[in-house]
Chain A
Amino acid sequence: SQTIHQWPATLVQPVGSPLSLECTVEGTSNPNLYWYRQAAGRGLQLLFYSVGIGQISSEVPQNLSASRPQDRQFILSSKKLLLSDSGFYLCAWSVVRGYTFGSGTRLTVV
C-alpha cells in the first residue's frame, strides 16, 4: 500500500538554528512531492514541489530550501531559522485523484 511518512511530529528550535524535515513515500515510484506550510488558523501555502530526483520548484521566496536526493525522499531545510518560519509543515504526494498528506510537523521557532 502507499504511505507517506513525515517526521518529527513537533519541533521547537531557537532562532538562527538549522532545520531539516524529512518526508518519505512508500509504495509508489516517481511521485510528485510537495511541501506546504500552514500558519495558525490559515490555509495552506505551497512552498516547494518536485516532479523528480533533483528537480525542485520554489513557489515563494523564503528562508527555506528543499532537496530530493532520492525518488521517494523529500527534505525541507533551512540554514538559519527565523521566528516567521514557525508553522505547520505538511508533505504530500499526488496521484490522479488528489493529494495524500503526511501527518505534519509543527515547528515552533523561539
Chain B
Amino acid sequence: SQQGEEDPQALSIQEGENATMNCSYKTSINNLQWYRQNSGRGLVHLILIRSNEREKHSGRLRVTLDTSKKSSSLLITASRAADTASYFCATDDASGTYKYIFGTGTRLKVLA
C-alpha cells in the first residue's frame, strides 16, 4: 500500500530559484526520509527526520515535518541544473522492521 504521496508530481523552475516538494502520509511513523533519483539510477539518501523533530537542514536542503498533519516538505534553496532529478519521500510503519514505503515522487527539472 502507498504510504507517502508527493506533491506536486512534476515541478519546473529556473536555476537559482527555490524548489519545494511536499509529502503526505497516512499512519504513525518513527521517521521520514527523502531520497533523490537521477534518471535510470538507484536512489540516494538525502536526509532523515525523526518523528520528534520539526525541522532539519543539510546544505541547501531543508526538511520540515508536521506529525499532526502527517506531512513533510523538502526545500531545495538556490537550485542548480544538477538538482534535476526525481525526489521521493519514504516512511516507516513504526513496526521497527526498517521497512520503508515510498511515495510516487516529484520530478524536478531545473532550467539553466
Q: Which residues of A contact B (CB under 8 A)?
A: 6, 32, 34, 36, 41-44, 46, 49, 51, 88, 90, 92, 94, 97-104, 106
B103: contacting residue among A41, A43, A99, CB under 8 A:
A43
Tell me the number of A-to-B contacts counted with CB atoms below 8 Å.
55
Q: Check A49/B97 contact, CB under 8 A, given A43-B102, A43-B103, A44-B88.
A: yes
Cβ–Cβ contact A104 & B105, under 8 A: no
Interface residues in B19-72 by Cβ distance below 8 A to A read 33, 35, 40-45, 48
Give the residue of B33, B40, B48, B100 whose beta carbon is less than 8 angstroms from that of A106.
B40
Closest A residue to B44 by CB, please name it.
A101
B residues near A (Cβ < 8 Å) are 2, 33, 35, 40-45, 48, 88, 90, 97-105, 107
The prevalent SS among residues of A at the interface is: strand
Q: Are the C-beta atoms of A98 and B99 separated by less than 8 Å? A: no
- In the complex where A43-B88, A49-B97, A94-B98 touch, is A102 in contact with B103 (Cβ < 8 A)? no
Contact B102 A32 (CB under 8 A): no
User: Can you list 15 residue pairs at the A/B interface with Cβ under 8 Å?
Assistant: A41-B107, A44-B88, A44-B102, A46-B102, A51-B97, A92-B43, A94-B98, A97-B45, A98-B33, A99-B33, A99-B45, A101-B43, A102-B42, A103-B41, A104-B40
Q: Which of A44, A100, A104 contacts B41 (CB 8 A)?
A: A104
| Inter-chain contacts of A51 with B (CB < 8 A) | 97
